[in-house]
Amino acid sequence: MFFHIFINKLKILLKNKSMIFWTLFFPLALATFFYLAFSNIDSNEKFTEIDIAIVDNEQFQNNVDFKHLMASLSNEENIFNTDYVNIDVAKKLLEDNRIKGYILVEDEINVYIKENGISQTIIKSVIDNFYQINSAVNHIFIEKQEITNIILADLNQNYFNDISNDKISSTVTYFYTLIGMVCLYGGFFGVNALNESESNLSKRAARLNVSPIHKLKFLLISLLVAFIIQYMETLILLSYVVYILKVDFGNQILPIIILTANGTIAGISFGAIVGLSNKGSENTKTGILVSVTMLLSFLAGMMIGDIKYLIEKNIPLLAKINPVNMITDALYSLYYYNNLDKYFSNLFSLIIFSFIMITVSYIILRRKKYDSI
Amino acid sequence: MKNVIEVKKLNKKYKNLQAVQDLSFEVKEKEILGLLGPNGSGKTTTINCLLSLLNFDSGSINILGKEMTPDAYDIKSKIGVVFQDVAVFEELTVIENITYFCGLYIKDKKIRNRYVEEAIDLVGLNDFKDFYPKKLSGGLLRRLNIACGIAHKPSIIFLDEPTVAVDPQSRNNILEGIKKLNKEGATIIYTTHYMEEVEILCDRIIILDKGIIIASGTSKELKELTSIEEKVTIEIDDLKQEIIEEFKKLKNVENVSYDSKLLYITYKKGKDNLINLIEFMKTKKIKYNKFFSELPTLNDVFLELTGKELRD
Ligand SMILES: Nc1ncnc2c1ncn2[C@@H]1O[C@H](COP(=O)(O)OP(=O)(O)OP(=O)(O)O)[C@@H](O)[C@H]1O
Ligand SMILES: [Mg+2]
């Protein structure tokens, strides 16, 4: 009996074109769209340059390689916004916090800073790298531009992945919310599962309820099938985004897999509630589901990244109870933070969200007869 | 014969509307019971209460000697239902649909497959086994709907207007199938608003109107309730008003009307009505082309009991 229902449900759902479109092909198309639209923006998007000063003395002018490096990092790569000044002005600028640090070339190249921070670390790292390369390649021929490139590569690798709020590629956030959205689209299957088992919602459910099959057993099998399909679809999207579009999701595969599984459960249970919320047709309900999910994704920053921060600042509660936001945040924290605290707190919120949805559905579902069908 | 279904004083209200009122009846083993009533008379409501799909306000329902409840799985396993609306899966073919629904009752694959084949035979869908429901005509779709409800060989079958909007060929096929199921031993509860169907099919008929049983019995018993003996229709090319008046004065004549060359005469109970009529037309030298005589129908019974036509 279990297999009979399981196999048939699987077949029925996989053949449902509109459902598979919404839960698989639409998100894939959206991912592709994001990729095409935002990969441009991202390369144009300016990294907030680090303000520095260089003491423009004789030694600096004589160190041709360094002079070229700083010029290209300032003018072409826009990593530094550099003022060439005398020592007194440099000190004054640092004093007034108008620069993060200044560089003084004497026998050695020294960096003067007031406080420690990521920008200061970057300045120092550039100087350190320059020293290393210079000593290593002292005797071989190396082009000036080559030094710049090596240093840039190193900066990209070590820092630009790591500087919260500075060089965070906002594109990544769009893909995170997309994963959140597709998890919630599990709701399509949740709506369907309820429609197929509540006799006041569909004729086929009435047929089921006059059969000797226990309604809750049937529903559990339907939800299991729903989970399997939606989870596979989420993983397909994730693979597409990570391996084909090459969007960076970090290396923590297992937490991502656990998170999306929980997200899928949250989505399906959310769909169950939408399914039970009114007596409209399945189309009406999926309409509601799509709108609500889109709204939640929008609020989590899917179309305009800044919305996410606006909501978090002004209506923090809304950000806290928004499951798309929970998924986005968890993915985000996996990528940007070294510890898993934030990840776990979001995962936990997601579990609570699902638990509430499932409990409420169960209470409504225990009804066995209806006043009207 | 024992009763397989007993309904006592069933009452069901939808908000303000009393859909079923004090309904009491029983269904005997292996009979075909017809629930006849116009649209909105409470047929579907009654069936849904019997099936424990709907809450009702008062009354009791026993099936196979036990109270019917949503958890009465042993009773449910012996029931088959064909709902008024078609309820099949668009994503499954004819044979897959029947197999799916049959599989909710029958675990054994071999037996199930045999039952499915028999159901397909019964409703005559052999040429459409691998069709998707979308490709089926209305009549064929209804046949599929029936097959899905009865493939598991239930001992009690509820059919709620299975022939609505069905072409005559499909209708005959469906009625034949139901007779066959009954011959094989199934008790059948059949609702319809087509009186011809209950006359052909049913051993006993319950006539419902506005949720109340207004009459019940065999078709013959019901017809005895009416005061009409027969209805005569005669095609006469030209007829003067004074002659029409004379028809009215004939013995046992209840009603006479003349409309587009057709003269309708309704007779009350009595003897020799037709002989007297023909005699009268001979003496008056009235020429007529065609002459039909009909016995009263259930529609006449309904008309007399409620003052309105069964069919709208
Ligand atoms: N879910 C409902 N809510 C409110 N009123 C209803 C509901 N279902 C039916 N009714 C009303 O109850 C009465 C009986 O309806 P029911 O469907 O049982 O009639 P029926 O005999 O099956 O009619 P039909 O031949 O049209 O199928 C009708 O007046 C109908 O309008
Ligand atoms: Mg009805």
Report which DSSP code applies to A13: H
**Whole-angstrom Cα distance, residue B99 to residue B94?**
9
Size of interface A-B (CB pairs under 8 A): 81
- Tell whether the model's pLDDT for residue B5 goes beyond 90: yes
Q: Can you name the CATH fold of B228-295?
A: Alpha-Beta Plaits (3.30.70)
CATH architecture of A47-155: 3-Layer(aba) Sandwich (3.40)
CB contact under 8 A, B48 and A373: yes
> Is B285 touching A (CB cutoff 8 A)?
no
Give the dihedral sign, CA B283/B286/B291/B292.
negative
d(CA A131, CA B59): 96
A256-287 CB burial, b ≥16 within 10 A, e <16: beebbbbbbbbbbbbbbbbbbeeeeebeebbe
Chain A residues with CB-CB distance to B155 below 8 A = none
pLDDT in tens, A104-128: 998 888 889 888 777 888 888 888 8
Model pLDDT, residue B290: 87
Instruction: Determine whether the interchain pair B52/A369 forms a contact, defined as Cβ–Cβ distance below 8 Å.
Output: yes
* Cα B97 to Cα B125: distance, rounded to the nearest angstrom: 12
Q: Say how many Å lie between the CA of residue A222 and the centre of ligand 2.
A: 29
What does the pLDDT read at residue A170?
63
Residue with tokens 């016995």: B295
Using CA coordinates, name the residue in chain B closest to A216: B71
Range name among A4-8, A157-161, B72-76, B268-272 with the lowest pLDDT average: A157-161
Residue A212 has its nearest CB partner, among B77, B85, B87, at B77
CA distance A361 to A195: 13
Residues of A in contact with B53 (CB under 8 A): 199, 206, 209-210, 369-370, 373
Q: CA–CA distance from A3 to each of A222, B100, B164 (Å)?
A: 11, 11, 35
- The residue whose CA is least distant from atom 2 of ligand 1 is A372
Q: Check if B92 contacts A (Cβ < 8 Å).
A: yes
Residue B52 with chain A: CB contacts under 8 Å: 368-369
What are the strands of the beta sheet with B156-160, ordered from one edge? B79-82, B156-160, B187-192, B32-36, B204-209, B212-217
Regarding beta strands A109-113 and B3-14, do their DSSP bridges make them parallel or antiparallel, or are they unpaired?
Answer: unpaired
Nearest CA residue ID for atom 28, ligand 1: B40
Q: Is B105 on the interface with A (CB under 8 A)?
A: yes
pLDDT one-digit tens code per residue, B206-253: 999 999 999 899 988 888 888 777 888 999 888 888 888 888 888 888
Ligand 1 atom with least separation from CA of B211: 14
Average pLDDT of span A160-177: 61
Nearest ligand 1 atom to alpha carbon B20 = 14
Residue A196 has pLDDT above 90, yes or no: yes
For residue B49, give the chain A residue with the closest CA: A369
Write down the pLDDT at residue A160. Answer: 60
Residues with CB under 6 A from ligand 1: A 372; B 14, 17, 19, 37, 39-45, 84, 161, 193
Q: How far apart are CA A153 and CA B154, in angstroms?
A: 76
* Contact present, A189 and A19 (Cβ < 8 Å): yes
Q: Which of A10, A189, A210 to mutate to test the interface with B (most CBs of B within 10 A)?
A: A210
Q: Inform me whether the pLDDT recorded for A360 exceeds 50.
A: yes
Average pLDDT, chain B: 91
ipTM: 0.83
Residue B51, chain A, CB below 8 Å: the answer is yes
Give this prediction's pTM: 0.77
Nearest ligand atom owner, CA of B48: 1
Residue B224 corresponds to which tokens in the numbers above?
Answer: 């005895």
What CATH number labels B3-223?
3.40.50.300
Q: Count CB-CB contacts under 10 A for residue A373.
A: 20
Tell me what the pLDDT averaged over chain A comes to. 85
Strand order in the sheet with B262-268: B253-259, B262-268, B228-235, B290-294
Q: Return the residue of B nearest to A202 by Cα.
A: B87
What would the two tokens of residue A359 be?
């409990």
Distance A280 CA to ligand 2 centre (A): 20
Residue B256 CA to residue B265 CA, distance in Å, equals 5
- For A16, which of B14, B71, B91 is closest by C-beta distance? B91
pLDDT (mean) for A323-349: 86
Contact between B244 and B258 (Cβ < 8 Å) = yes
At B258, phi and psi to the nearest 5? Answer: -130, 125
Q: Which two tokens stand for residue B247?
A: 């028809």
**Which part of chain A is CATH 3.40.190?**
47-155
> What pLDDT score does B246 carry?
86
A258-293 pLDDT, tens digit per residue, is: 999 999 999 999 999 999 988 888 889 989 999 999
For A23-58, what is each residue's pLDDT tens digit? 999 999 999 998 888 765 544 444 577 889 999 999
Q: What is the mean pLDDT of residues A203-219?
A: 93
Would you call A210 and B51 a contact, using CB atoms and an 8 Å cutoff? yes
Please state the domain extents for chain B. 3-223, 228-295
